[in-house]
Structure 1
Amino acid sequence: MLLPPHVSGQKLGKYQDLKSTIDEKNVNIGGYIRVSTKKDGQKSSIQNQGKLLRQWAELNGYNLVKNYTDVKSGAYTYLRNEMQLMFKDVEEGKIQGIVAKEIARTSRDVMDILSIKRTLADHGAFFLSIKESYDSRTDDDEFLLIIHGGLAQKERKTTSSRVKITQIIKAKEGKTNVSVPAFGYMLSDDRQYLIRNPVTAPVFCQVIELFLSGWGQLKIAKWLNKQGIRTRRGGLWGTNSVRTILSNPVYLGTTIYNATTLVRDSKGQQKRVVRPREEWIVRENTHEPLITEEEYNKVQTIMRQRREKYNHEWSCDRKYLLSSILRCNVCKGKIYGFADKQCRSITYKYRCLGGNGKCNGKIKIWNMKKIDNTILAFIAEIFSDRANMINFIRRNVDLFTNDLSELVKKREVKKTLLEQINNAIKKQQLAFEQDIITVAEYKERMAELRDNKLAAQKEIDSLNRKLEQIDMIEEKIYKVYEDIKALIDNIDSLPMEEKFQLVNNFTDIFIDGNGNIVDVRFNI
């Protein structure tokens, strides 16, 4: 068979025409079912959707092989296990298409809906929706799918907004929005308030006593697990779950709502972020406290002190002083240390492997002790004189000058603007709480103020970065000098740890084949 070079020279996949299955009978398909929650009312929805899909498949001449059922919200399809299994079955050829009651059952996000359709198409499968009479085999440009997906996304946003307003009203009235209360509490009979749990509240109080007596989080977790006590969700205790109950202000009788929200990142995955503090809803004395304010503050102080005590930088025993700091001047690659074991002796050396193919000749090897002494002598020489040292660092960092007065004035103007915006936000929130403005007016005005605040803060941050580079560079240079000057007087007899501290001020030291220093780059 004659093949053109752009076909024979590449591993191209075979084109699969989805339209070829339009007129076929008994095509194997799968049904996709989704409900939002595990509530009893949703169980009948699963049964009804399954019944509808079976009847539709029989009526239209399809062979419904299997139904895939997820209990998840309308967004974030990557979190749905059954959908991922569905894709796998499509890839393996067990089914050739998918049918759903409506497009919103698959997702309520346009990008997700397109991704689902395209994933199926990649494996020669099609997507059908009963309510919209949609068939991906006849929608070549995806125009209809985008329209239906946009409507589904709009509906999700509208529903979410209604739910959010209801939750905000409840929070302002001191009611709870949680379905699973914090350990030590349970929901009231009307599920509107937190009340003391007679079983777990004493356990929480005992945990506080043990912590204040000197127990650590791991020891408390082990004790709880040994006692057969489970977390609020029925799992085993760990340091994170213990830390959560030790730091949660809910035990002060305080309810905090609207502090965080979920957003979709650039990869389409959910990410939790903190809202501006002026948007938080904080209500005190909404339920019975299980800890006094004095005890709570003491617990937080102990936790902070322990974090500071054990928050050491990662470190290990380094044998090679300049490993990865040294660079070969020929190939510019990093030079690493190694132990050369010969008979009963060990000699430590540096070598450049020339892995990028740019190094000439054989593998370059240098005696480690000789190179270390050369570098330390070089450091002692250039830093023995303050003026020489300052000039040396100036040549190795990016210094720039600018009209500082104009930048400072501009920053002050932006700070004043930001303060005015924050005051306006507080006034709007107060007006909303006192029912002076409607929800629609509040949302419209707050959206505008948040956009203005974000823009002002970005400009301030940009100016701060510019001014910091200019204002702080001199201070950093002098600080480096003082740090190094204190070490170089007895540089040969310094402990290894202090030598590491000394050479870490360099990012790169380039040497030639003879071990001579060619170029040095400084780190500030």
Structure 2
Amino acid sequence: MKAGLYIRVSTDEQAKHGFSIRAQKDKLTKFATSQDWDIEDYYIEEGVSAKDMLRPELSRMFEDIKTGKIDVVLVYKLDRITRSVRDLYNILDLLEQHNCKFKSATEVYDTTSAIGRMFITLVASFAQFERENLGERVRMGMERMMEEGKFTGGISPFGYHYNKEAKTLVIDDDEAQVLRLIFDSYMRGLGEERTAKKVNQMGHTTRNGTTWTGKTIRDILTNPVAAGHLRWGGEVYRNFVDPIISEDQFQQCLKLRESRREMSPRAAGPSHYPFSGILKCGRCGAALKGQYRVGRVKEDGSRSKFKHYVCTKARGGSCDFKQISDTVVNDVFLKRLNQDLKDYQTALDKEKDAQQEVSNIEKETRYLEAQINKIQSRKRKWQLAYADEAITLEELKERTAEDREAHEILTKQLDELKQEQPDADPVYMVDALTDFIENWHELDDQEKKITLQLFVERVVIDAEDRRGTKTQLRQAWITDIVYK
């Protein structure tokens, strides 16, 4: 009888149970010799799991069975060839179709009788149950580690590295510097692609040594780990690591990205007029529309274009506001921003002592976040209690439903509380206006328009009636500006 000796081992099994390739091969060879079988071939899988049948050597053995090269398949143990009942049925069916037998060297299995087939199926069922049960225990163990603030392993998120001794994630100073640069650049008006270009130009690469792209920048901007919250297994574990940026900055970044997605195609589309859409007439309140006029022909045959804004009601004679140049609008706008920056700086200086105390809103926010974390932790405890048969399935469903309802209520309260925080916080406005003014001249017209749409609700402008000259610009002023 021609025998095919199938041998498989995974790294963990070899370390824990001694199922080495050499040991299996020696025992199977001796067993085949004692049965007076001819060894046709050895089919050896090293470091391969038995969770499915997608294995090179197993597939090769199946082909040899189909061509009649093998009369009996010999394994050290049943779980060497499969741990799945379904796969076992398929294997036994294949063996029966080609008149091939199956034998375990350490177990009493005989596929030549109905009783033997039934017994081997039962054993495979227990093997599958053990595998699934082990997977469940491993998953619960990993969840418990996360609850205790211990990282379960794998690839550390950008900005952090893994401390093996403490089993925690700690800030990587070099990567953290790049991460802060990414958030700061994006918050200052650069898009994802322009941020990637800036980071690359400064000589920074990803952890893998590749250049940054819009996608990799987007992955950084949307990952809450930068603010200290780790996303794992479909859950977000708040305050899991030390934050690299503040919670406010991360939320502002998300709000900025959301605003850019919701911006109308016309507002977000290509434009040479940064103030269109937000600039309003100080006399009638109508919108000012961007236009340009063509200058005289130059010596090289080209013509200069001069941008300006006109009141949409002036054309019909309903308003006497005369067109105003883009240069004048730009100058008076920046002048107003600088004045607002001084005013907010003054207010900030007066409130420094008061701001040292944590506000009631911040205290309530931390309380609600703590309650939400308790619910998430309690949900896992119910699952463990059910797994240990301490509660029934109905009790598990009932308590899970109660927690889900409480979670929704607390989340809603947290969202409402965050909306109560003042938009014109002096600290935020000082930082925002400073960044806005410093980066304004580095942006092109389209980027200026996007930044204005996100930062400013409207700008109301008025000006004297006379036209400006080369020696004396037309006097204009901002009568009102509303920030978002």
TM range (shorter): 0.3 to 0.5
User: Structure 2 length as normaliser, TM-score?
Assistant: 0.47
Which fold has the larger relative contact order, with Cα–Cα distance below 8 Å and residues 6 or more apart in sequence? 2
TM-score of the pair, normalised by structure 1: 0.44
The structure that has the greater radius of gyration is 2
